[in-house]
Amino acid sequence: MKPEQSVTRYTALVIGAGGVIGRNLIDYLMTLPQWNVIGVSRRGGEDAPGLRYISADLLNKADTQDKLSHLTTVTHIFYAAYQDRPTWAELVQPNLAMLVNVVNTIEPIAPNLQHISLMQGYKVYGAHLGPFKTPAKETDAYHMPPEFNVDQQRFLEDRQPGSSWTWSALRPSVVCGFALGNPMNLAMVIGVYASISKELSLPLRFPGKPGAYHSLLEMTDATLLAHATVWAATDPRCANQAFNITNGDLFRWNELWPKIAAFFELETAPPLPLSLATVMSDKEDLWNSMIEKYGLVNTPYDDVSSWAFGDFVFSWDYDFFADGSKARRFGFHDFIDTETMFMDIFRNLRDRKILP
């Protein structure tokens, strides 16, 4: 009689555990019996069986080493941290420094480190700067710096030769999923904007640039992205590769927006360019009254409002999509309908009593 085969154990170090990407990645990893998970963020979190959180200031080299230097069992680093700054140039130093501090701390003390997963985005293609080549491909040339995503990848590329670990870079479109207190959560932007519009007896107007209402876009579901991230980190074919990860379909706001309005039982009206950061800045008192009126979870307005990010996404009056076929060629075939994704997230937010 053969002895029972033991389950392989991995230890995931999820950097940026509080964001929409990190949180959903942890949720997925917790469904996989062979994984232990350590989440790292500035806020920390609530421990659970197989999951513990560490609060660390990754910009501080000494604090990073103090908080992480005992994590000798880490096999996979999933890096999804992000520090916002006012300009593209100012983004480089902190976002590169955090990655460097993590790798410099973990690599020397974790002898079984197998993989470092880097979360990127379409900034690699210059999507944030204006109209860019679509569909964007992983082989496209980089644009004129500064660009922290490129610097982070080059750091891993330069560090990897001769190492026992490999790297992968995931490039999602706008990521949608459940997370609070995140500066880049489009589903929350839309949900709160719609709920406040309804409270004020207003139709749901698309607030972006006129051309943005008609441009061709795609999104990335946070759960789908989590599946892709673990796949790329554990499939040997994906070693030292970058992958665009998308839902698999395209849409235009002019078709999806009325369906979102219908979900919230709202009429639509012609689009009107609005700065959400401006027009929603005085709505905190209204939000607090809605919490009391509808028995919602007492969530601070700052934790549900990402208005600057909404303004950014709704300003894209050009096509915004990438070629996701490389991931399929390498073996990842998951997909989700974007309309279904949004409706599921809105229902989830209602079930959690975040939205009325």
Angle 222-234/20-29 helices, nearest 10 degrees? Answer: 60
Cα 125 to Cα 136: distance, rounded to the nearest angstrom: 7
- pLDDT at res. 72: 98
Mean pLDDT of the chain: 95
Coil, strand or helix: which one is 92?
helix
- pLDDT at res. 254: 98
- pLDDT at res. 183: 64
DSSP state of 333: -
Rg of the chain over CA atoms, in angstroms?
21
Assign 105 a pLDDT band (cuts: 50, 70, 90): very high
- pLDDT at res. 250: 98
pLDDT over threshold 50, residue 108? yes
- pLDDT at res. 2: 37
Assign 182 a pLDDT band (cuts: 50, 70, 90): confident
Write the CA distances from 108 to 61, 101, 115, 193, integer angstroms: 15, 12, 14, 47
DSSP letter for each residue of 186-200 = HHHHHHHHHHHHHHT
**Residue 252 and residue 210 in contact, taking contact as beta carbons nearer than 8 Å:** no
DSSP E strand boundaries for the chain: 10-15, 35-41, 51-55, 76-79, 115-119, 166-172, 174-176, 204-205, 219-221, 241-245, 268-269
**Residue 113 and residue 48 in contact, taking contact as beta carbons nearer than 8 Å:** no
Q: Is the dihedral of CA 350, 354, 355, 356 positive or negative?
A: positive
Q: Minimum mean pLDDT among 80-94, 129-143, 179-193, 302-316: which range?
A: 179-193
pLDDT over threshold 90, residue 332? yes
pLDDT over threshold 70, residue 8? no
Assign 181 a pLDDT band (cuts: 50, 70, 90): confident
Assign 305 a pLDDT band (cuts: 50, 70, 90): confident
pLDDT over threshold 60, residue 6? no
Beta strands 268-269 and 204-205 are parallel
Q: Return the number of other C-beta atoms located less than 10 Å from residue 254's C-beta.
A: 14
Cα 256 to Cα 171: distance, rounded to the nearest angstrom: 23
Assign 273 a pLDDT band (cuts: 50, 70, 90): very high
Average of per-residue pLDDT across 124-143 = 97
Q: Residue 75 has which token pair? A: 């096999």
Closest CA to 180 of 339, 355, 50: 355
Residue 88 zone, left/alpha/beta (φ > 0; ψ -120 to 50; rest):
alpha
- pLDDT at res. 71: 98
> Rounded to two decimals, what is the model's pTM?
0.95
Closest CA to 350 of 309, 295, 300: 295
- Cα-based angle 10, 107, 15 (whole degrees, multiple of 5): 65
Cα 205 to Cα 210: distance, rounded to the nearest angstrom: 11
pLDDT in tens, 219-261: 999 999 999 999 999 999 999 999 999 999 999 999 999 999 9
Cα 346 to Cα 356: distance, rounded to the nearest angstrom: 10
Q: Which residue type does 247 have?
A: N
Assign 5 a pLDDT band (cuts: 50, 70, 90): very low
